[in-house]
Amino acid sequence: MFNDILNKKKQQQDEQCNEIKAKISNMNLSDMRIYVNDNLKTYGISECGLREIMSKLISKDSASKRFIESDAMDSKIKKTFDLVILISESKKMTVATTKLLEEFINLYNDLILKFDSDNKQIYESKLKKCLINSIDHVTKMAAYKSKREVLER
């Protein structure tokens, strides 16, 4: 009986995740920012959504081009970096999303350094600080969950 309930719940979560993936695949940077901000509570931000956005930012297209390249407009680069910072501040961060954040920093390190030097910005330190903060958040959440499990026994 409990197994049936758990399976139905897992199926519902998978269906919701697939719907979110379909929505995010058609989003541009502005739409992704609205999704992550979700001030209007229209989307219902989720762990799956954050992971999907980070995956989209890291993925390469058929021509092996990254989501943003060095020839992209400065505004697009800045919006992408701000979006990643916004994602890292979300309470829905997970270990998987944190790993994707680390991959993003490694993949775009050359672009981050170039953008910082050209525009007198400090995104390198901001993004590294965000990575540290998201690791701390995930660690605290894991400690909280383990304490809760001990208390429930």
Please report the pLDDT score of residue 147 as a whole number.
Answer: 87
For 99, how many CA atoms within 13 A lie in the half-sphere containing its CB? 5
pLDDT in tens, 76-89: 999 999 999 999 99
Number of domains the chain is built from: 1
- The whole-chain average pLDDT of the chain stands at 86
Position 5 confidence tier, pLDDT thresholds 50, 70, 90:
low
* Residue-range definition of the domain harbouring residue 95: 2-152
The model's pTM: 0.84
Q: Which residue has the higher pLDDT, 136 or 45?
A: 136
Cα distances (angstroms) measured from residue 112 to each of 4, 7, 120, 130, 137:
48, 43, 11, 14, 24
Q: What is the pLDDT of residues 10-69, one digit of tens each?
A: 677 778 888 888 888 888 998 899 888 876 566 678 888 899 999 999 988 878 888 888
- What secondary structure does DSSP assign to 84-122, as a single string? HHHHHT-TT--HHHHHHHHHHHHHTHHHHHHHHHHHT--
CB 112 within 8 A of CB 99: no
d(CA 84, CA 109) in angstroms, rounded, equals 14
pLDDT of residue 149: 86
First to last CA, the chain: 21
